[in-house]
Structure 1
Amino acid sequence: GNAMGMIAALTGADFVEVPTTLMHYNDATTSAKKAFSLIVDGQILSKNILGTFYLPKLVFCISEVFLTLCTSSVHAAVGEAAKTMSMLGKASTGPGQQDFHNIL
């Protein structure tokens, strides 16, 4: 997502994201940020040091891929989605809240 999004932004090309994890799906559908961090010997020295904002033309989702994900990957993505909903002011009690409990 980030590498191709950055290349598309720099060249002005359209790009399509095909997420293979729920975390990538969440990022592809809720964020235009395409950024890189500086990591040396496994340690993050600078987060999002280089980046841009660029939306994909299309997010193509193959939902069957998500059925192969491990539980920890699903939990991390649900947490990230909850954080995004919270920042958008959508994390109040409502129909979506029960969906999170069912997934967990």
Structure 2
Amino acid sequence: MATILIVDDDRALRDGLAETVTDLGHTPVPVASGSEALARLHEGPVAAVLLDLRMPGDLDGMATLERIRALPEPPPVTVLTAFASPANTIEAMRLGAHDPSPA
């Protein structure tokens, strides 16, 4: 059973993703902001991160991704967004977001 960190400011989406992760047999750790995500990652390892790109507050998704990837042993990160663009897709991949598409 893997621990999956879910980072999204939208409570309904966060709860829905947590339910899906649970249904798949894993342990969800839902948080509402980038700063909460980084704090949780410093508490102990997680197997993967589902990260919203657009979040208000101190850290948006890109800034959070950059800080996660700077950790000594960063988990794989999949970026979720309803506002995809070529620019933010390229930037997320440049920062190390997981690319689930086949090679």
Q: Please, what TM-score do these two structures have when normalized by structure 2? A: 0.30
Give 1 or 2: higher helix fraction: 1
Q: Please, what TM-score do these two structures have when normalized by structure 1? A: 0.30
| Higher RCO (C-alpha under 8 Å, 6+ residues apart) | 1
